């Protein structure tokens, strides 16, 4: 009996998970040779367009290795009754941990201090500018989903007061609700962006939000680049409208605006929020489990409502 065929547009990691996929499935990587496939494995950043779906008339499942679906044409998937799965929960702690790390790196000038030493400035008698404390500050979370709430747990554990904004007030939390992003920015010193991206919230963190955050404020984005207006952020950093930023995501990855590259008070990482071996293995296992469920005709473990 032949193995089920699958189009793979994004690799599973670690390597043993990719090997498990290859053991159980006939793996294709050329979409033009995949007209008969029913399953596609992709990622949140790679996605799947309507044009790509049109090349696969038998497509029935899009398995996303990640939680972002903004690059998947969900309207087309719904129209064609194509199921979509993601890998929620298993990466929440890793991404929340990354957000917290970026906050410390930005506030305490950790990356800047590293360059300061390597460039010989310390040995030459230079003094690194003073940083600021993260502890004892007020944290705002833009996007109070799985990742946002896990981050809130970590922040509360460190003694920070936590504010959040979401589509509606959540009754099962002690954190303080803010009706919109502007009021959230006014309430906090550290603004963490963990929301999912869509056409309605592009540039949500722009000049007005950054101005409301103020001179002591720090922006941390571990969600999607388009949620933060990169030009407005660069100007806010250059003019000291805010104190700093930590960014793991960008509009046009892997390309980063030159103004952000040059900003000493901006810590940059290459979209590695979930890039721990434990998180990636758990994500890959959930992908494999969803694929196995589909092949066996069983309910999907983590379907995404399209």
> What pLDDT score does 198 carry?
83
Pairing of strands 176-177, 161-165: parallel
Give the Cα separation of 153 and 158 in Å (integer): 9
DSSP 199-230: TTSTT-BSHHHHHHH-TT-EEEE-S-GGGB-H
Quick one: tokens of 201? 């919230």
Query: Which candidate in 109, 149, 150, 271 is catalytic?
Result: 271
Quick one: tokens of 83? 């199921």
> Does the annotation count 271 as an active-site position?
yes
User: Angle, nearest 10°, between helix axes 15-24 and 277-295?
Assistant: 10
> What are the pLDDT digits (tens) for 144-157?
999 999 999 999 99
DSSP state of 71: T
Q: How far is CA 44 from the centre of its chain?
A: 9
Confidence of residue 45 (pLDDT cuts 50, 70, 90): confident
The residue-averaged pLDDT of 214-223 equals 97
Quick one: tokens of 98? 């990354």
> Does the annotation count 224 as an active-site position?
yes
Above 80 in pLDDT, residue 61?
A: yes
> What are the pLDDT digits (tens) for 88-106?
999 999 999 999 999 999 9
> What pLDDT score does 1 carry?
62
Query: Which candidate in 137, 224, 238, 280 is catalytic?
Result: 224
Query: Which candidate in 19, 51, 208, 253 is catalytic?
Result: 253
Q: What is the pTM of this model?
A: 0.92
Give the Cα separation of 90 and 246 in Å (integer): 23
Q: Which of 9, 12, 85 is nearest to 47 (CA)?
A: 9
Above 70 in pLDDT, residue 127?
A: yes
> Does the annotation count 207 as an active-site position?
no
């Amino acid at each position: 009996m032949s193995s089920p065929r699958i189009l793979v547009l994004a690799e599973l990691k670690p390597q043993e998970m990719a090997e498990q996929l290859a053991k159980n499935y006939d793996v294709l990587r050329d979409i033009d040779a995949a007209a008969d496939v029913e399953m596609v494995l992709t990622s949140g950043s790679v996605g799947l367009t309507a044009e790509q779906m049109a090349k696969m008339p038998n497509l029935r499942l899009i398995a996303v290795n990640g939680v972002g679906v903004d690059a998947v044409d969900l309207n087309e998937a719904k129209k064609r009754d194509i199921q979509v799965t993601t890998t929620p929960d298993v990466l929440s702690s890793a991404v929340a941990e990354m957000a917290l790390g970026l906050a410390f790196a930005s506030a305490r000038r950790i990356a800047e201090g590293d360059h300061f030493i390597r460039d010989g400035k310390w040995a030459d008698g230079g003094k690194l500018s003073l940083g600021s404390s993260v502890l004892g500050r007020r944290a705002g979370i833009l996007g109070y989903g799985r990742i946002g709430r896990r981050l809130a747990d970590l922040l509360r554990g460190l003694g920070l007061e936590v504010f959040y904004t979401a589509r509606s007030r959540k009754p099962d939390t002690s954190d303080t609700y803010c009706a919109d992003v502007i009021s959230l920015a006014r309430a906090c010193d550290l603004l963490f962006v963990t929301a999912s991206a869509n056409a309605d919230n592009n540039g949500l963190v722009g000049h007005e939000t950054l101005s409301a955050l103020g001179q002591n404020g720090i922006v941390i984005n571990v969600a999607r680049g388009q949620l933060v207006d990169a030009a407005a952020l660069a100007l806010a950093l250059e003019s000291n409208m805010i104190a700093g930023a930590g960014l793991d995501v960008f509009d046009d990855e892997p390309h980063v605006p030159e103004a952000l590259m040059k900003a000493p008070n901006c810590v940059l990482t290459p979209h590695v929020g979930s890039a721990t071996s434990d998180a990636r293995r758990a994500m890959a296992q959930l992908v494999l489990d969803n694929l196995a469920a589909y092949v066996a005709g069983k309910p999907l473990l983590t379907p995404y409502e399209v």
